[in-house]
């Protein structure tokens, strides 16, 4: 596996080695010892999720109170997504900045997000499927959202899908009603950067 740290501190892109022949392909999409050697700590596993999305479905920006915080390890098993990581940790040198990784069923990259950062995915193809490992179970009382189209964040969302057709963004009611970065900062709900 090849690990590349993203511009959001503590977030990583992971590219697995794939072994293919006329029968198909095999890869390790997570390996604890390699993860720990690259990132510097282990990933505690408390929950695993799967989400299937139509082209244009935009999920996020989601984050969890930190502490306790929820780290995620995300990969795409079918189709394609733009995976976006936003540094929401007040006091971080990269506060309000974002980075993105194309995760798909060709390169089969994964993304690791540390606790305290925001996460969003945009499906670039119908029936795209993402799987993610989580360091803590989903706890609604600790869950928060930011509006993914907040102009202050300026995320450069693709406007065409993997096949070149135009995308129409589809957000849940919860994500559509989410506050902006400034509103969340003013409300005091954003996590703080470890000092």
Q: Please tell me which residue in 73, 112, 132, 193 is annotated as part of the active site.
A: 132
Q: What is the pLDDT of residues 167-179, one digit of tens each?
A: 999 999 999 999 9
Active site residue 62: yes
Q: Which of 135, 113, 106 is nearest to 15 (CA)?
A: 106
195 pLDDT band (50/70/90 cuts)?
low
Decide if 112 is catalytic.
no
The pLDDT assigned to 194 comes to 79
For residue 37 the two structure tokens come to: 């050697």
pTM, full prediction: 0.96
Above 70 in pLDDT, residue 55? Answer: yes
Tell me the per-residue pLDDT of 26-53, one tens digit each, with 9 for 90 and over: 999 999 999 999 999 999 999 999 999 9
C-alpha count within 13 angstroms, C-beta hemisphere, residue 129: 6
């Amino acid at each position: 596996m090849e690990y590349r740290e993203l511009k959001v501190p503590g977030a990583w892109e992971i590219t697995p080695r794939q072994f293919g022949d006329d029968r198909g392909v095999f890869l390790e999409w997570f390996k604890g010892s390699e993860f720990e050697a690259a990132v510097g700590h282990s990933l505690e596993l408390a929950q695993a999720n799967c989400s299937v999305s139509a082209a244009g479905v935009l999920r996020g920006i989601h984050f969890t109170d930190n502490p306790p915080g929820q780290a995620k390890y995300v990969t795409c098993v079918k189709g394609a997504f733009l995976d976006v990581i936003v540094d929401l940790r007040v006091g971080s040198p990269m506060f309000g900045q974002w980075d993105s990784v194309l995760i798909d069923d060709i390169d089969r990259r994964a993304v690791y997000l540390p606790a305290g950062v925001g996460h969003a995915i945009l499906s670039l193809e119908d029936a795209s499927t993402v799987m993610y490992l989580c360091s803590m179970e989903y706890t609604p009382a600790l869950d928060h959202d930011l509006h993914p189209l907040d102009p202050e964040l300026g995320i450069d969302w693709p406007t065409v899908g993997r096949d070149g057709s135009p995308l129409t963004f589809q957000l849940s009611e919860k994500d559509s009603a989410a506050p902006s970065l400034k509103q969340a900062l003013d409300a005091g709900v954003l996590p703080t950067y470890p000092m």
